[in-house]
Amino acid sequence: MNFAAPRTWAGIGFVLLFLINAGLVIAGLIFDNLWCTLSGMLMAIAQFWLHKRLLQKQNGLAGYSLFSDADLRTVIGRSQTRVPLSNTGGEESVFDFGYSSVQCGETTLQIAGNMLFTEIGMGNCRMPYRMNLLNIGLSNVDVPNKGSLLALSRSAKGNDCAINTGVVGIVPELLRGGSDLVWRIDRLEALYRNPDGSFNEAVFGKAATRPYIKMIEVKLKAAHFSPDISESSLNCLITFLERIKVLSGGKPTGVCLAVADHELVARLCHVMASNVVYLDFVTIESAPGDGDVDALFAAINAARLAIDAQALPTKVIASGDLAKERDILRAIGYGAHACYSVRPFQVSLAAARGLIRSTTNSKVASVTAFHQNTLAATMQLITACATQQQQAVEQEPISAAN
């Protein structure tokens, strides 16, 4: 990221402040004025503290080395300025009154005002969830502080999107913000196990039926289901996931797999088709800090092909460092129905403005602006593809449907 301009103005300010400090100290020594000397010393301490704060903020933004300079500029710029969602760059939008959905490749998204959604949940899912196209994912490595978690939750509520709890779990800050939560759990979580290792249905059911939990996601690792293990283990897993759905009152239930483990999706699809028991969604998650979005897209495509081969109604959700509208549309084009963006929202938190330090309200404004601007840009790109007025778009044709 190019910090040349901010450094120039900050440098000039610190030079002027240093000259004032030096002048006060020298004047105090020459005229034997204790107050001038003390004032200069206090201003020097304040200058040192202010420099430390600004340096921390700059290092916080520069630390996201997995982003290119262009991506960083995009995220920071969209976090600072809010634009109307209906802005289409002077072109007439194809999503005027009468359009209820838009088809991107083979993925159909619902239109509600200026927002794009998809419905997750089918069959015996009594509480399907209308999921925003762009949602917030919490990294498995960098856990935000309490103020940032509260800001993310408040922003998600205002933008009508969900937060995937990741390894953070259900914490008070997320609840205070009032957002919809996708609860990620480990199937071997000791908190919901009896002393003998069996599943404690009463404790889990009490937690899963809480209204702020909209979907339940179980983290899986392919190493636990290697090819030499009998398919009976996968049958038990599918039965366990179906039981989780019942205990939750019929909320959408699915699994989360790393990009490297996407081959497990094909085995799961075979078992689901054989047992006539379906997962509501499968989340494909890129590794923390992995900037290779092409690997994520390839895994999404493989998962979609496996699901289509068995004619299953399971949805695919992409999770990774999706910072731009082109990345989001590529994920949708490869077969995803919704997305979690992880580190771009953390960059947006770091870019929040503040005189000395960013406040919770400034973080909410920054995250909200980034979410709205990114969705607005996505809508513009879809509009450009649908009307075929932008020849430089490297996407397959996207058509709008009534």
Is 70 a domain residue? no
The structure tokens listed for 77 are: 């710029």
> Does 67 map to a domain?
no
- Residue 175: which of 166, 165, 185, 167 has the closest Cα? 165
Residues 153 and 26 grouped into a single domain: no
Asked if 20 and 89 sit in the same domain, the reply is: no
- Shared domain for 57 and 155, answered yes or no, is no
| Residue 68, domain member (yes or no) | no
Residues 258 and 207 in one domain: yes
Do 89 and 217 reside in the same domain of the chain?
yes
pTM of the complete model beyond 0.85: no
Q: What span, in angstroms and rounded, lies between the C-alpha atoms of 83 and 270?
A: 46
Q: How many domains does the chain have?
A: 2
Is 271 within the bounds of a domain?
Answer: yes
- For the chain, 402 residues long, the average pLDDT of each consecutive 10-residue run is 48 74 78 78 77 57 56 82 48 56 77 84 86 88 82 94 91 94 86 84 91 93 67 83 92 91 87 89 82 85 93 93 89 93 87 66 90 89 66 46 46
Please tell me whether residues 250 and 291 are part of one structural domain. yes
- 277, 238 in Cβ contact below 8 A? yes
The pLDDT value recorded for residue 387 is 60
Is residue 252 a part of any domain in this protein?
yes
From 338, 401, 396, 321, select the one nearest 75 (Cα to Cα). Answer: 321
Q: Is residue 286 a contact partner of residue 321, using CB atoms and an 8 Å limit?
A: yes
Q: What is the CATH classification number for the domain harbouring 144?
A: 3.20.20.70
Dist. CA 298–CA 262, nearest whole Å: 9
Residues 80 and 52 in one domain: no
* 194, amino acid identity: N
| pLDDT at residue 301 in the model | 93
Task: Pull the structure tokens for residue 156.
Answer: 């998600």
Question: To which H or E segment does residue 104 belong?
Answer: strand 101-104
Nearest to 294 by CA among 258, 246, 333, 327: 327
Pairing between strand 162-164 and 180-186?
parallel
Q: Which domain holds residue 50?
A: 4-62
The answer to whether residue 347 sits within a structural domain is: yes
Among the listed residues 343, 339, 345, 291, the one whose alpha carbon sits nearest the alpha carbon of residue 319: 339
Which H or E run includes 119? Answer: strand 115-120
Question: Which strand (E) or helix (H) includes residue 115?
Answer: strand 115-120
One domain for residues 132 and 35:
no
Q: DSSP string of 323-358?
A: -SHHHHHHHHHTT-SEEEE-HHHHHHHHT---SSS-
Cα 38 to the chain's mean position, in Å? 49
Is 118 in the same domain as 243?
yes
In-domain check, residue 364: yes
Q: Do 52 and 118 share a domain, yes or no?
A: no
- The beta strand positions in 220-337, using DSSP E, are 253-258, 281-285, 315-320
The answer to whether residue 215 sits within a structural domain is: yes
| Same domain? 94 vs 227 | yes
Between CA 165 and CA 133 the distance in angstroms is 17
Same domain, 24 and 154: no
Q: What are all long-range contacts of 19-27, with beta carbons under 8 Å and residues at least 24 apart?
A: 21/47
Residue 92 carries which DSSP code?
P
Of 62, 93, 111, at which residue does a domain stop?
A: 62
